[in-house]
C-alpha cells in the first residue's frame, strides 16, 4: 500500500463513519505513524508502507472511526502553542478557550510588574493554568479540580513544562478545600456548561470520550455560574477580575446572574465563529469584600 492509497482508503472509511475532515484526519494519523510532518506526505505519495506501519495505521484509523478524538489517539494537543497531554479524565482543550487564557494573562501582565495570583477553577488538563504561568512570567497560580485524575494530568503537564514551582494544586468540590485566606487577582474558569438534557446529543467524540463531569452544567447549564458569582467574591483581591467561558446563547443569562451578586460584566469576547464565548467581570463599586 502506498501513502496515497493509504490516505484515500482511510479517508473514505472515516467519511462513512461520520468523522469531520476525514482527509485531514487520515493525513495527520499517517504522518504520526510515519513520524513525518504532514505536508511531507505530499512529496512521498508513492512511498510504500511496510507491514508494521500499515498495521499501526489501520489500528489508529479504526480507533478514529469509533470516534475517539484525534487528540486522545495522538496523546496530546496544542493549547496557546504549548503541548498538552490529554486522556479521558480531562476535557480536550478547545481553541476557543485560548481566548479566555489570553485575556487572563493580559490582566496578570497589567498589574504594574507586581506578580499576580490566579485561581483556575476546574483546571482539567491544566491548559489554562499552564498558559497563564507561561505567558505571565511572574504569576503564581492555584489549580483546582474535584477530580484527582484530572489533577494528576494537570500536574504532569505543568511538570513537563517545568512550571510546577509556580502552581499549587487543590482537590476540592466547589470551594470546600480552598484556603479561605487566599485572595486572587484573577479567578478564571471554563466550567461545565452543557445543559444536562443536551449531553446525549453531543457529537460522539465529546459524548463518549470527554468526562461528563467536565461538561454537565446542570438543568440549564448555568449551575457553575451561579456558584462562581456567589462564592468567588470572598476570594477576590481588590481590583480582581472574574473571567469565564460559557456556552451558546448563555450570554443572555450570565450578565444577570453576575449582576445579582454584585458584579459588572465588563467585556464579552466572541469566538472564532463570532459567537459570544468569554466574559470578563469585576466587582461593582462598593461590592468589594476585602
Interaction site with ligand GLN (CB under 6 A): 91, 94, 190-194, 206, 215
In the complex, the smallest distance separating the C-beta of residue 60 from ligand GLN, rounded to whole angstroms, is 23
In the complex, the smallest distance separating the C-beta of residue 236 from ligand GLN, rounded to whole angstroms, is 21
In the complex, the smallest distance separating the C-beta of residue 97 from ligand GLN, rounded to whole angstroms, is 7
Nearer to ligand GLN, 49 or 215 (CB): 215
In the complex, the smallest distance separating the C-beta of residue 13 from ligand GLN, rounded to whole angstroms, is 25
Q: Which residues contact 75 (CB under 8 A, 6 or more apart)?
A: 85, 86, 87
Q: Are 44 and 31 in contact (CB under 8 A)?
A: no
Nearer to ligand GLN, 5 or 223 (CB): 223
In the complex, the smallest distance separating the C-beta of residue 196 from ligand GLN, rounded to whole angstroms, is 11
In the complex, the smallest distance separating the C-beta of residue 94 from ligand GLN, rounded to whole angstroms, is 5
Residue nearest to ligand GLN (CB): 193
Q: Is 156 helix (H, G, I), strand (E, B) or coil?
A: helix
CA 269/CA 183 separation, integer angstroms: 26
In the complex, the smallest distance separating the C-beta of residue 194 from ligand GLN, rounded to whole angstroms, is 5
In the chain, beta strands by DSSP E: 76-79, 82-85, 117-121, 140-145, 167-171, 184-189, 236-245, 263-270, 276-283
If residue 50 lies in a helix (H) or strand (E), which one and from where to where? none
Nearer to ligand GLN, 57 or 193 (CB): 193
Alpha carbon 233 to chain centroid, angstroms:
24
Task: Output b/e per residue, 132-157; b: 16+ Cβ within 10 A.
Answer: bbbbbeebbbbbbbebeebbbbbbeb
Q: Are 248 and 202 in contact (CB under 8 A)?
A: no
Nearer to ligand GLN, 101 or 215 (CB): 215
Nearer to ligand GLN, 225 or 263 (CB): 225
Nearer to ligand GLN, 3 or 206 (CB): 206
- What Å distances lie between residue 148 and 23, 118, 158, CA to CA? 37, 20, 15
Grid cell locating 56:
499501526
Nearer to ligand GLN, 61 or 206 (CB): 206
Please list the helix, strand and coil fractions of the chain in percent, rounded to the nearest 5, in that order.
45, 20, 35
In the complex, the smallest distance separating the C-beta of residue 283 from ligand GLN, rounded to whole angstroms, is 24
- What Å distances lie between residue 286 and 65, 255, 281, 283, CA to CA? 56, 18, 15, 8
Nearer to ligand GLN, 107 or 277 (CB): 277
Amino acid at each position: 500500500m502506498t501513502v496515497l492509497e493509504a490516505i484515500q482508503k482511510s479517508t473514505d472509511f472515516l467519511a462513512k463513519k461520520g468523522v469531520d475532515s476525514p482527509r485531514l484526519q487520515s493525513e495527520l494519523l499517517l504522518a504520526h505513524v510515519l513520524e513525518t510532518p504532514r505536508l511531507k506526505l505530499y512529496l512521498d505519495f508513492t512511498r510504500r508502507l511496510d507491514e508494521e506501519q500499515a498495521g499501526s495505521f489501520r489500528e489508529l484509523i479504526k480507533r478514529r472511526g469509533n470516534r475517539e478524538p484525534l487528540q486522545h489517539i495522538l496523546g496530546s494537543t496544542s493549547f496557546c502553542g504549548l503541548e498538552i497531554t490529554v486522556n479521558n479524565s480531562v476535557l480536550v482543550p478547545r481553541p476557543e478557550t485560548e481566548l479566555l487564557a489570553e485575556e487572563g494573562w493580559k490582566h496578570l501582565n497589567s498589574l504594574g510588574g507586581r506578580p499576580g495570583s490566579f485561581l483556575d477553577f476546574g483546571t482539567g488538563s491544566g491548559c489554562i493554568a499552564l498558559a497563564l504561568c507561561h505567558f505571565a512570567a511572574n504569576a503564581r497560580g492555584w489549580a483546582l479540580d474535584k477530580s484527582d485524575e484530572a489533577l494528576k494530568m494537570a500536574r504532569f503537564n505543568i511538570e513537563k513544562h517545568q512550571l510546577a514551582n509556580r502552581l499549587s494544586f487543590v482537590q476540592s468540590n466547589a470551594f470546600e478545600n480552598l484556603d479561605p485566606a487566599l485572595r486572587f487577582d484573577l479567578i478564571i474558569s471554563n466550567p461545565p456548561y452543557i445543559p444536562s438534557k443536551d449531553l446525549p446529543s453531543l457529537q460522539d467524540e465529546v459524548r463518549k470520550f470527554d468526562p461528563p463531569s467536565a461538561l454537565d452544567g446542570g438543568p440549564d447549564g448555568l449551575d457553575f455560574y451561579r456558584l462562581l458569582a456567589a462564592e468567588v467574591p470572598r476570594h477576590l483581591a481588590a481590583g480582581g477580575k472574574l473571567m469565564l467561558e460559557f456556552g451558546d446563547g448563555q450570554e443572555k443569562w450570565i450578565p444577570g446572574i453576575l449582576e445579582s451578586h454584585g458584579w459588572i460584566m465588563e467585556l464579552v469576547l466572541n469566538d472564532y465563529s463570532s459567537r459570544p464565548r468569554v466574559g470578563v467581570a469585576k466587582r461593582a463599586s462598593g461590592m468589594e469584600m476585602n
